[in-house]
Structure 1
Amino acid sequence: MATGSAVASHDPKNDEFNPFLSMQDGFDTAADFLGLEGGVRDVLSMPDRELTVNVPVLMDDGTVRVFTGYRVQHNTLRGPSKGGIRFSPDVNLDEVRALSAWMTWKCSVVNVPFGGGKGGVICDPRTMSNGELERLTRRYTAAILDIIGPDRDVPAPDMNTNDQTMAWIMDTYSMHQRKTTTAVVTGKPLSIGGSRGRREATGRGVMISANEALKMIGKRPEDTRVVVQGSGNVGGLGAMLLHREGYKITSISDMYGYLVNDRGLDMPAVLAHLNANRTLEGYKEAEYATDGKAQLELDCDALVPAATENQITSENADRIKAKLIVEGANGPTTAIASQMLAARGVTIVPDILANAGGVTVSYFEWVQDRMGYFWTEEIVNSRLEQIMVTSFAEVRETAEKYKVDLRTGAYILSIGRVASVYRMRGLFS
């Protein structure tokens, strides 16, 4: 095991729901297979930088509230930090640390020249007006201004943030720089330097990963019943793309409940209903239930957890019926649950591969912004598919070489690449 790592020795069972410890478990397993020397292990397991900021915001009622925000830069050996910013009441530092590390491994596994970063603000955007969210975003941006930039750290949307949020960040940064700097964030509106295909990119990556996984296990899309947890840019758009590929989507959820129809859902109609009503409830062509946890245990061939972390755990892993899991969210399966499922022969396409479509097209956006020339959506999608198919093959080959599952294979591949760069660059002193 690692010596002097960022996390002290622990009981994995007691700490199952700590996402940073789950990430560390995967890291340590891969580091053991790679035979990483202690110093390299310590460097790669620790974040480069962690910033905690207090963000005062003038609320609509005239009061001032102070929100806590974070930005963690895990690693910049291969390039600028890259990773989203989430607004949620559940944000905490260990979560942001884990997500930033997963971004390092994700960027490496698809071989784009970024390191990992992540940010978050503890707030409940559902209770805040658009004006309050704008003031929060701009003040948070000002607080982290010294550590972000096109060559340093490039934020992107994440949970409860979107292209408008990125526009506010870009504008705030640009005002301080006294010049328009579009490449400081990705996931922007097209009119200010966004990339075609970015909104669908994570869901498209999930679809491509599912296609490659089916080839590996000898199934066809038209014979595959899929349960999708989540209906946002990853779950909803991913389900739509899977539907177009011929998969039968039998269930999809939002934050309030889920729809189920064993004959298959008409995804265009489902998403039209969701867009019109902001909830899946009331859709007439399927049953609706509110016990979200039960959705994961529905009978299906493939499960796409595309909501948030710690959804498949030691408490429900034995009741998961899917033989294929394609992780659309970051860290949806705890380390213990992943081991339990692997022992049952369940194939898991890990998050750092399956949902890497988003960061891949974010890289495309960053490149386009820096050269001032923008690609067609067909070019974006073609290049994304090429990278995702190649990366899946490389992860599979690594897993077969070391006789491990796809998750461990992905960690071995990605960590090995970062460690190689560290040894090549050497230690500055």
Structure 2
Amino acid sequence: MKAFEAVQHYFHKAADQLDLPQEIRRLLIQPERELTVQIPLRRDDGSLETLVGYRVQHNSARGPMKGGLRYHHHVDLDEVRGLASLMTWKTAVVNIPYGGAKGGVTVSPRDLSQAEKERVTRKLVDAIHQVIGPDTDIPAPDMGTGHEEMAWIMNQFAKYYGFNPGVVTGKPVEHYGIPGREEATGRGVGLLTIKLLGHLGRKAPGTRVALQGFGNVGSHAAKFLAESGCKIVAMSDHTGAWHDPDGIDVKAALRHTLDNHGHLEGFEGGKQIPGEELLELEADVLIPAAIGGVINEDNAERIKAPVIVEAANAPVTPDADERLHHRGVTVLPDILANAGGVTVSYFEWAQNRQFYRWTLDRVRGELDRTLTHAFDDIWDRAKERDLSLRTTTFMVGIERVARAVHLAGVA
């Protein structure tokens, strides 16, 4: 099942519960705009390469569209379309005044020098600047991009429209970014994991967590959970996976990645295991924080963790989700679990529009309040109707977007 098809599957399950008319479903599913652009890249060796970039703007009923920009060799229009749709529901679930969008370039960032990456980013802005902006569509970091790319986007956009830091979020603090943005997604994952454990009658201290992915999201989630008393029994990145049933020293892992270009390769804090084994370890919580589709019909029956928190986008396929649900596995879906990033992006955008700086304590406090309110609302609704957290989360998002469309007089 392709990315956009998977989102439609979840959408229709929730829409059935809401008795949403077919004509409204078609209106909400269809993206408002899809853009495919050519990006000429002059390589450092003088050769010319042509890349393909995408920006999908899914829905603007609740405000300017918002969504990340990823650089990855598997990026295609269907994936970006599916992720843009997820962003529409995600921003509605945490009740921030945004719609959904997503973008990407089909290229591996590891194959680009720093100068080449900057040229790609600026050429992308040249191609899409007419359809992005602080009141229209606001990009942010995603897989393969970070605060440097966002600074380049802000700078290139200013060449067309003048100083306007609200065009993009996830910028360096020195370039009108906000403290706490880099940690936001991972912190939100950690916070909601603790909230979920509490609602399930468990306590954080001693809870065994297996975490796939130790990039920006996974590392911050691991740090938050370890500080809360959880035991991180496994972690991985693209260079390998490590396991220690007595718990891995997260601080040591973080120090190692700082000294090793952000990679776990060579880490000696646990036994190295095949990457696919991490997902099937004995653990109380499994957090896939890397790429999509890692839990699927091939391995769903071998997943032992009774709780899964989706830190990555779409890490569980629909077929696997059905099997896990029937087995009684609790899955906290991505459109809530990893919503911390877009929530703090909203705070950054609001700060930029007001030309007023927020403190880190204020950012963390507002993030915790926003995510807690969203989680408690969804938990109560799920229990009231005996539905999965995923279906309930989609229901909340769809309800809010459909209501906004109706009130605007569009339907």
- The TM-score bracket by the shorter chain reads over 0.9
Q: Residues 398 and 413 of structure 1 are in contact (CA less than 8 Å); yes or no, is this contact kept in structure 2?
A: no
Show the counterpart of 1:299: 282
Q: Residues 398 and 412 of structure 1 are in contact (CA less than 8 Å); yes or no, is this contact kept in structure 2?
A: no
1:71 paired residue among 47, 55, 61: 55
1:195 equivalent to 2:178? Answer yes
SS at match of 1:333: coil
Show the counterpart of 1:156: 140
Q: Residues 398 and 410 of structure 1 are in contact (CA less than 8 Å); yes or no, is this contact kept in structure 2?
A: no
1:26 paired residue among 6, 10, 14: 10
SS at match of 1:102: helix
Distance across 1 between alignment mates of 2:404 and 2:382: 21
Distance across 2 between alignment mates of 1:83 and 1:151: 13
SS at match of 2:215: coil
**Residues 410-421 of structure 1 aligned to structure 2 (within 5 Å):** 410-421=393-404
What are the Cα deviations for residues 103-131 of structure 1, in whole angstroms up to 9, with x where unaligned?
00000000000000000000111111111
SS at match of 1:73: strand
Distance across 2 between alignment mates of 1:183 and 1:210: 31
Distance across 2 between alignment mates of 1:206 and 1:149: 28
| AA in 2 matched with 1:227 | A
Distance across 2 between alignment mates of 1:151 and 1:281: 42
**Residues 135-146 of structure 1 aligned to structure 2 (within 5 Å):** 135-146=119-130
Q: Residues 242 and 269 of structure 2 are in contact (CA less than 8 Å); yes or no, is this contact kept in structure 1?
A: no
| AA in 2 matched with 1:374 | R
Q: Residues 281 and 288 of structure 1 are in contact (CA less than 8 Å); yes or no, is this contact kept in structure 2?
A: no
Shift of 1:281: 2.7
Distance across 1 between alignment mates of 2:184 and 2:131: 27
Q: Residues 55 and 101 of structure 2 are in contact (CA less than 8 Å); yes or no, is this contact kept in structure 1?
A: yes
2:94 paired residue among 82, 85, 110: 110
1:376 paired residue among 329, 343, 359: 359
What are the Cα deviations for residues 228-275 of structure 1, in whole angstroms up to 9, with x where unaligned?
010111101111111001100011101121111111011011111112
Distance across 2 between alignment mates of 1:423 and 1:154: 24
Show the counterpart of 1:54: 38
Distance across 2 between alignment mates of 1:128 and 1:266: 32
Detail structure 1 runs of 4+ shifted over 4 Å in the superposition.
Answer: none
Show the counterpart of 2:369: 386
Count residues with an aligned counterpart.
410
Show the counterpart of 2:296: 313
SS at match of 2:58: strand
Shift of 1:398: 2.0
Show the counterpart of 1:12: none
**Residues 112-261 of structure 1 aligned to structure 2 (within 5 Å):** 112-177=96-161, 179-261=162-244
Q: Residues 85 and 120 of structure 1 are in contact (CA less than 8 Å); yes or no, is this contact kept in structure 2?
A: yes
1:396 equivalent to 2:392? Answer no
Distance across 2 between alignment mates of 1:403 and 1:262: 34
Structure 2: give runs of 5+ residues left out of the alignment. Answer: none
Distance across 1 between alignment mates of 2:53 and 2:240: 29
1:80 paired residue among 47, 58, 64: 64
| AA in 2 matched with 1:176 | Y
SS at match of 1:342: helix
Shift of 1:310: 0.3
Distance across 2 between alignment mates of 1:170 and 1:284: 40
What are the Cα deviations for residues 385-424 of structure 1, in whole angstroms up to 9, with x where unaligned?
0000100011112212332100000000110110011111
Shift of 1:64: 1.1
Distance across 2 between alignment mates of 1:172 and 1:331: 31
Shift of 1:155: 0.1
TM-score normalised by L of structure 2: 0.98
Show the counterpart of 2:308: 325
1:45 paired residue among 21, 25, 29: 29
Distance across 2 between alignment mates of 1:398 and 1:80: 28
Shift of 1:223: 2.9
1:366 paired residue among 349, 359, 381: 349
| AA in 2 matched with 1:238 | A
SS at match of 1:138: helix
Q: Residues 75 and 81 of structure 1 are in contact (CA less than 8 Å); yes or no, is this contact kept in structure 2?
A: yes
Shift of 1:284: 2.1
What are the Cα deviations for residues 33-53 of structure 1, in whole angstroms up to 9, with x where unaligned?
111112211110111110000
What are the Cα deviations for residues 154-193 of structure 1, in whole angstroms up to 9, with x where unaligned?
000000100000000000001111x211000000000111
Q: Residues 197 and 380 of structure 1 are in contact (CA less than 8 Å); yes or no, is this contact kept in structure 2?
A: yes
